[in-house]
Amino acid sequence: MALADRINSLSRRLPTWPVYILVAAWVAWLFWLGLSGQLGPEPINTLERKYGLFALQLLVAGLAVTPLRTWTGVNLIRFRRAIGVSAFFVVLAHFSVWALLDVQRLGAIWADIVKRPYVTVGFLSFLLLIPLAMTSNTWSVRRLGPRWRQLHKLTYPALLLGGLHFWWLTKGWQWEPLLYLGGIVALLSLRIRLGARRRPTRARTV
């Protein structure tokens, strides 16, 4: 517990804004690498994959904050909004590279969303994240009250769809997307168990 306490007291003293700066800088840096020919012979595909994977990693990190506190005592709740909003920004970058640089034609973008299941689930995941990004400000949290919590449970289906999207686009038997999908399912089932445990306690206090 001593280690967790030390981490907590350190994290309390750290500002959260560098998360935004670091993530935005990474996205811009990678784009510049692609622009200057340093991402190999097919930079569009590389950007698409790297943005997509990092977005998924950030979303998983956001989902892991609560279980981390429950099981280890390490409290990073302060950083969760920054992690979540940054994740949305990277998802947006991933979507933009796909739509504007990869597919390029508006008709083809729509056709892919409608016709290709792995694109459909990826796009749905993106849509679910939009209201979350828009309400990730203190004003919305106050205004929505308990409904904010309910609304932000949309991260659960968004993550499942994101994991499915990753698994669906790979060829052959690959471990990486399965590990992500497994991790997401594990984190979500932890949530469900935590929720189930919390509810009766609350009922007793009322």
Partner 1 sequence: GAVGSALPAAAQAALEPNPIEDIRTYNNFYEFGTGKDDPARNADAMVIEPWSIEVDGLVDNPGTWSLADLMDGLTVEERIYRFRCVEAWSMVVPWNGVELADVLAKVGVNPEAKFVAFETVVQPENMPGVRRQVIPFPYVEGLRLDEAMHPLTILATGIYGEPMAKQNGAPIRLVVPWKYGFKSIKSIVRISLVEEEPPATWNIINPREYGFYSNVNPEVDHPRWSQATERRIGGGLFSPRQDTLMFNGYPEVASLYEGMDLAEFY
Interface residues toward partner 1, by CB under 8 A: 31, 34-35, 37, 40-45, 47, 101-105, 108, 111-112, 116-118, 168-175
Q: Report the C-alpha gap between 65 and 91 in whole angstroms.
A: 19
Q: Report the C-alpha gap between 38 and 81 in whole angstroms.
A: 32
DSSP state of 16: S
Complex with partner 1: residue 89 or 112, whichever CB lies closer: 112
Minimum CB distance to partner 1, residue 25 (Å) = 18
Minimum CB distance to partner 1, residue 90 (Å) = 18
Q: Report the C-alpha gap between 93 and 101 in whole angstroms.
A: 11
Minimum CB distance to partner 1, residue 181 (Å) = 17
In this structure, what token pair is assigned to residue 151? Answer: 């609304």
Residue 60, amino acid = V
DSSP state of 74: -
Minimum CB distance to partner 1, residue 36 (Å) = 9
Complex with partner 1: residue 79 or 167, whichever CB lies closer: 167
Complex with partner 1: residue 8 or 120, whichever CB lies closer: 120
Minimum CB distance to partner 1, residue 72 (Å) = 32
Minimum CB distance to partner 1, residue 94 (Å) = 15
Complex with partner 1: residue 17 or 175, whichever CB lies closer: 175
Report the 10 Å Cβ neighbour count for 163: 25
Complex with partner 1: residue 37 or 200, whichever CB lies closer: 37
Distances (CA, A) of 143 to 79, 137, 146, 147: 21, 10, 9, 9
In this structure, what token pair is assigned to residue 63? Answer: 């989902």
The interaxial angle of helices 117-134 and 155-169, nearest 10 deg, is 150
Complex with partner 1: residue 43 or 62, whichever CB lies closer: 43
**Residue with token string 């509810």:** 199
